[in-house]
A = this chain, B = another copy of it.
């Protein structure tokens, strides 16, 4: 294992009223970085998932059902960060291919809850190592401490602009 040198902190772009004026300021402007990175990760993942006949929306749906157990389509939409119409379409496709089931909620009978089937759970488990390898490449050369702090900052920013309780 090689030692990881601490990252040189870049001065972030001033949050004044002027837009970033240099490549360096752009490369320190968090909304830009988040957008650029998200786009790259999604494109890579979509290419890989496409070879399996899956989409990002389907992977994210498998993931949040693995964590939360029972969710409505609306909850899946928020947690999996998929538009409502796309979440609905994705769940329909996954019902057809047997990755999920849908039934009445036990507490509230108006709730229509989606859950993973055995096949859905097995598929998530099977493809995750490939997803994890991509994450390893993404975080290469960055210390655990710096990654943890970055995750905390991102999480805090989500809380700052969230519109749902989920």
Contacts and interface: CB of A to CB of B under 8 A. Distances in A.
A92 to B, nearest CB: 22
Number of copies: 2
Select the residue from A21, A28, A68 with max chain B CB neighbours within 10 A: A28
Given A19-B66, A19-B124, A157 B37 contact: yes
Interface stretch (A95-103, A107-115, A144-152): A144-152
Interface of A is mostly: helix
Nearest to A45: B31
The 9 closest A-B pairs by CB, nearest first: A38-B38, A33-B154, A150-B153, A17-B129, A7-B152, A9-B148, A19-B128, A150-B150, A28-B151
Interface residues of A, number: 73
Interface string A147-165: 1111111111110111100
